[in-house]
Amino acid sequence: MIRTVTGDIDSDDLGFTYSHEHLIGAPPAHKRVDEDLVILEESMGLVEAKAAAAVGVRSMYEASAWDYSRNPAALRRISQESGVQIIACGGFNKGEWFDDLLADVTVEELTQRIITDVTVGMDGTDVLAGAIKYGTAYNRITPVEERVLRAAARAHRATGAVLHGHTETGTMALRQLDLLEEEGVDLNRVGIVHLMRNPDPFLHKQIARRGTYLCYDGFAKIKYFPESTRINVLLEVVEAGLADRILIGGDLARKTDLTAYTGGPGLHYIAGEWLPRFRAELAERHYSTADIEELVRLIFVENPKRYFSFTEPY
Instruction: Convert the chain into a string of H (helix), E (strand) and C (coil).
Output: CEEECCEEECHHHCCCEEEEECCCECCCHHHCCCHHHCECCHHHHHHHHHHHHHCCCCEEEECCCHHHCCCHHHHHHHHHHHCCEEECEEECCCHHHHCCCCCCCCHHHHHHHHHHHHHCCCCCCCCCCCEEEEECECCECCHHHHHHHHHHHHHHHHHCCEEEEECCCCCCHHHHHHHHHHCCCCHHHEEEECHHHCCCHHHHHHHHHCCCEEEECCCCCCCCCCHHHHHHHHHHHHHHHHHHHEEECCCCCCHHHCHHHHCCCCCCHHHHHHHHHHHHHHHHCCCCHHHHHHHHHHHHHHHHHHHHCCCCCC
Counting the structural domains of the chain, the total is 1
Q: Which regions of the chain are under pLDDT 50?
A: none
Write down the pLDDT at residue 308: 98
Residue 313 counted as domain residue = no
Question: Is residue 36 assigned to a domain?
Answer: yes
Residue 132 forms part of a structural domain: yes
pTM of the full predicted structure? 0.97
Domain with 111, as residue range(s), is 2-308
User: Does residue 173 lie within any of the structural domains?
Assistant: yes
**Residue 62 confidence (pLDDT):** 98
Look at residue 190 and tell me if it is in a domain.
yes
Please indicate, yes or no, if residue 314 is contained in any of the structural domains.
no
pLDDT of residue 306: 98
Which CATH number covers residue 167?
3.20.20.140
| Structural domain includes residue 169 | yes
Residue 27 forms part of a structural domain = yes
